[in-house]
Amino acid sequence: MIPRSFEYHSPRTLDEAIALLQKLGPEAKLLSGGQSLIPMMKLRLVSPEHIVDINRIPGLDYISESDGHLKIGALAREHQLETSEVVKTKFPVLAETANVIADPLVRSQATICGNLAHGDPANDHPATMLALGATVVATGPKGRREIGIEDFFPGLFTTALEAEEILTEIKVPVPPPRSGGAYLKLERKVGDFATAGVAVQLTLDESGACKRAGIGLTNVGMTPIKAKQTEAFLTGKQLDDATIQQAAELAASESQPMDDIRGSAAYKRDLVRVLTGRALTTALNRAKGGA
């Protein structure tokens, strides 16, 4: 399969890349890891006239911690998340998420920022980033602006990025003490999109009650879903089995799956219930210092 012809641009600085996006308009598409874009171009689902390859812009491939945040640069690859020490110790749920995305070969190219910027509800990082309360940094002609992750996915394959903006960084707040997370995904086989996925991030107070709950759902709606009602329900409660069960049912009711080759809507909704229950139990154990 061969994509339609396009004009190739390879800017060496961020300013140059933004100027190209301004000049070329909506017919230009950014190429970073390319692991979603190139397959779509080969299938001719998209045929951009211009490709702006940002891979040769130096200094964008970082994953580092500063100012109370993990900062993930536009060109940081999924494989880096899996192997980063700071991620393993302070943000294990991010490594857990990366580990179930596609396969190791795809992860050596695919970028974390691209996983969000693609706006695909089937992608895995949106749910985890919703659970963690991340912030997206967009850089454009007017400079940098920050967008809360809950405002980043207005619709199917649509993000809050303007046409002339580049997603240059993801900022994830360092979880406070007594925090734990989990990402659970059911996939038919390695490399498939989730039938459903659930990300949970909990912080407990000193009494062991839930101080903050973040819950994101993968591939059960037109956009990644932040399970706001479930989060509110959990806040302030002791997380006993009955509470977790109620929360799981609430999360299932917040999902909006559709029938497709991966299963019926009813099946997927029940899957959200089961995965949410399990993810909450695992996250709770981890918040208490367990595995």
Partner 1 sequence: MAKVPITVKVNGVEHTADIEARLLLVHFLRENLRLTGTHIGCDTSHCGACTVVLDGKPIKSCTAFAVQADGRSILTVEGLEQDGKLHPLQDGFYQEHGLQCGYCTPGMLMTGYVFLQENDNPTDDEIRHAISGNLCRCTGYVNIVKAYQYAAQKMREGGA
Where does this chain bind partner 1 (CB under 8 A)? 1-8, 10, 31, 34-35, 38-39, 41-42, 51, 53, 55, 79, 102-106, 108-109, 190-191
Q: At closest approach, how far in Å is the CB of 261 from partner 1?
A: 15
Q: Which long-range contacts link 97-106 to residues 24+ away (Cβ below 8 Å)?
A: 97/124, 97/125, 97/127, 97/128, 97/183, 97/199, 98/125, 100/124, 100/183, 100/185, 100/187, 101/125, 102/35, 102/78, 102/191, 103/190, 103/191, 104/79, 106/35, 106/78, 106/191
Alpha helix ranges (H) inside 155-260: 228-234, 241-254
Judged by beta carbon, residue 129 or residue 166, the one nearer partner 1 is: 166
Q: At closest approach, how far in Å is the CB of 17 from partner 1?
A: 15
3-class SS at 227?
coil
Residues whose CB is less than 8 angstroms from the CB of residue 262 and which lie 6 or more positions away in sequence, other chains included? 188, 192, 193, 195, 268
Judged by beta carbon, residue 29 or residue 171, the one nearer partner 1 is: 29
Q: At closest approach, how far in Å is the CB of 183 from partner 1?
A: 17
Q: At closest approach, how far in Å is the CB of 55 from partner 1?
A: 6
Q: At closest approach, how far in Å is the CB of 237 from partner 1?
A: 37
Judged by beta carbon, residue 21 or residue 131, the one nearer partner 1 is: 21
Residue type, position 70, single letter: L
Judged by beta carbon, residue 155 or residue 191, the one nearer partner 1 is: 191
Cβ(185)–Cβ(282) below 8 Å: no
Judged by beta carbon, residue 36 or residue 201, the one nearer partner 1 is: 36
Judged by beta carbon, residue 11 or residue 257, the one nearer partner 1 is: 11
Q: At closest approach, how far in Å is the CB of 105 from partner 1?
A: 4
Cβ(271)–Cβ(195) below 8 Å: yes
